[in-house]
Amino acid sequence: MKLPFSPGIFGMALLGIVFGAAGAETNQAGAYATGRYRNLFAEAGHSEKEIRLKVDAAFEQLFHGNPETQAVYYAAGSNSNGPLAYTTDIKHNDVRTEGLSYGMIIAVELNKKAEFDALWNWSKTYLQMTQTNHPSFGFFAWQARTNGVKMSEFVAPDGEEYYTMALYFAAHRWGNGKGIYNYQAEADELLSRMVHRETIAAKMPGRGGSRTITAGPLVDVDHKMILFSPSSERNKFTDPSYHLPAFYELWSRWGPEKDREFWAAAAAASRDYFSRVTHPVTALNPNYGNFDGSLLNYQTNFSYDAFRTAGNWSVDWSWWGKDVRERELSDKLQAFFESKGTNYGCQFTLDGKTLEERHAQGLVAVNAVAGLAATNPRAVKFVEELWNTPPPDGLERYYEGLLYMMSLLHCSGEFRILMPQ
């Protein structure tokens, strides 16, 4: 539906009612079946031209803007596989699989093959663990310096999840090339390892001397959930923001045949987990949690990782429309943030006490994405706040900026399932 007018305050309220009802009807099947993606900005009265300009300007700033104050994407020479580039966490002066894989999925959604390939080449060149006797073998070291020297040899599984999804989308958008650019083969191999990689134990250096570390796949097969870390250094638990049922549904259709039932079950498990790990009133979730949804005794607040979770359940509703509880969660979450006023903070206790006052642009962005599942007219307020928020720059522009960019794509209906040709 295309709006021929700017709705104003009364129209925005009416618009929320109309589109809440329409969304409920459309999402019984979801975008995977219908091919229709909601454009929350257009629903709020913004023109196609305005939306296109906003999305393109944000990408140009974050990927090709002033390297001192705006960009998070940096060219880094070339090797036999072609150009290299990385995304960097400006604040901590490092490179993370989180940001590399986010950059890749943004690039494939916007048909930016050069940037995609350069990020993938950097990831494969510097971060993939190729030593067959290493506990992280076959996966990617989560953190490195900008020169490629690893700072950690352990795995953060959200990177592998986004790498996998980005690679499948690339295979469908551009077709497969040779070597590391055979996107389908790379995705299949990585996805299979996430479930089946054998357990490997090896001595690893540490501050107190070497110690034996054991690690295996990136999922807990019994609970059908992604792990925060596969390393034996930690007890096994999960991170709610790592749960991506919208992706798992695709892997249950496109991934290796032997694991398709697992990924379908994982999608259902994640949807149920969202309802168990969130606060019953605020819908805030902790950074980490046990598989049953109970809290870890040292991580009981809503913090930076947790920003992303509402986006995960809302996109899942938008694409698949399988669990109405995701709509209830978005309504609760937006009601909570509405109650905190227009300049709410970014870290909270789960029952809503403010722990940090900074009004983080990344959280503003994801709260707008929650509108994909919300039913209450207040959702338009959050979409408008994102619209009026400039692309992040300065010290916080890495995490805030990549969440912002992905949220622009989601809210403009441009973050789409790229289907096989």
Structure-token match 């076959």, residue found: 138
Structure-token match 């490195």, residue found: 144
Based on the domain organization, do 298 and 400 belong to the same domain? yes
CB atoms within 10 A of CB 60: 13
Based on the domain organization, do 252 and 387 belong to the same domain? yes
Q: Of all helices (H) and strands (E), which one includes residue 355?
A: strand 354-356
Asked whether the CA dihedral 63, 66, 69, 74 is positive or negative, the reply is positive
Question: What stretches of 64-192 adopt beta strand conformation (E)?
Answer: 73-79, 82-87, 95-96, 143-144, 150-152
Whether 231 is covered by a domain: the verdict is no
Whether 192 is covered by a domain: the verdict is yes
Strand, helix or coil for residue 56: helix
Based on the domain organization, do 55 and 135 belong to the same domain? no
Q: Which of 167, 170, 162 is nearest to 188 (CA)?
A: 167
Whether 39 is covered by a domain: the verdict is yes
Q: What is the tally of structural domains in the chain?
A: 2
Give bridge partners of residue 220 from the DSSP assignment. 225
Active-site residue among 98, 117, 239, 326?
A: 98
Based on the domain organization, do 152 and 267 belong to the same domain? no
Cα pseudo-dihedral 376, 380, 386, 387, rounded to 10: 170
Based on the domain organization, do 56 and 76 belong to the same domain? no
Based on the domain organization, do 134 and 189 belong to the same domain? yes
Domain that holds residue 63: 1-71+237-416
Give bridge partners of residue 215 from the DSSP assignment. 200
Based on the domain organization, do 118 and 183 belong to the same domain? yes
Confirm whether 98 is a catalytic residue: yes
CA atoms within 13 A on the CB side of 229: 16
Q: If you write DSSP's letter for every residue of 377-407 in order, what string do you get?
A: TTHHHHHHHHHTSPPP-GGGHHHHHHHHHHH
Based on the domain organization, do 252 and 353 belong to the same domain? yes
Based on the domain organization, do 258 and 199 belong to the same domain? no
> Cβ(243)–Cβ(256) under 8 Å?
no
Q: If you write DSSP's letter for every residue of 78-99 in order, what string do you get?
A: EETTEEEEEE-BTTTTBEEHHH
| CATH number of the domain that residue 98 is part of | 1.50.10.10
Domain termination residue (choose one: 185, 218, 251)? 218
User: Tens place of pLDDT for every residue, the chain, 421 residues?
Assistant: 333 333 333 333 333 333 333 333 334 579 999 999 999 999 999 999 999 999 999 999 999 999 999 999 999 999 999 999 999 999 999 999 999 999 999 999 999 999 999 999 999 999 999 999 999 999 999 999 999 999 999 999 999 999 999 999 999 999 999 999 999 999 999 999 999 999 999 998 877 778 899 999 999 999 999 999 999 877 899 999 999 999 999 999 999 999 999 999 999 999 999 999 999 999 999 999 999 999 998 889 999 999 999 999 999 999 999 999 999 999 999 999 999 999 999 999 999 999 999 999 999 999 999 999 999 999 999 999 999 999 999 999 999 999 999 999 999 999 999 999 8
Active-site residue among 249, 305, 323, 331?
A: 305
Pairing of strands 347-349, 150-152: unpaired
What global pTM score does this model have?
0.93
CA atoms within 13 A on the CB side of 251: 30
Whether 229 is covered by a domain: the verdict is no
Based on the domain organization, do 192 and 323 belong to the same domain? no
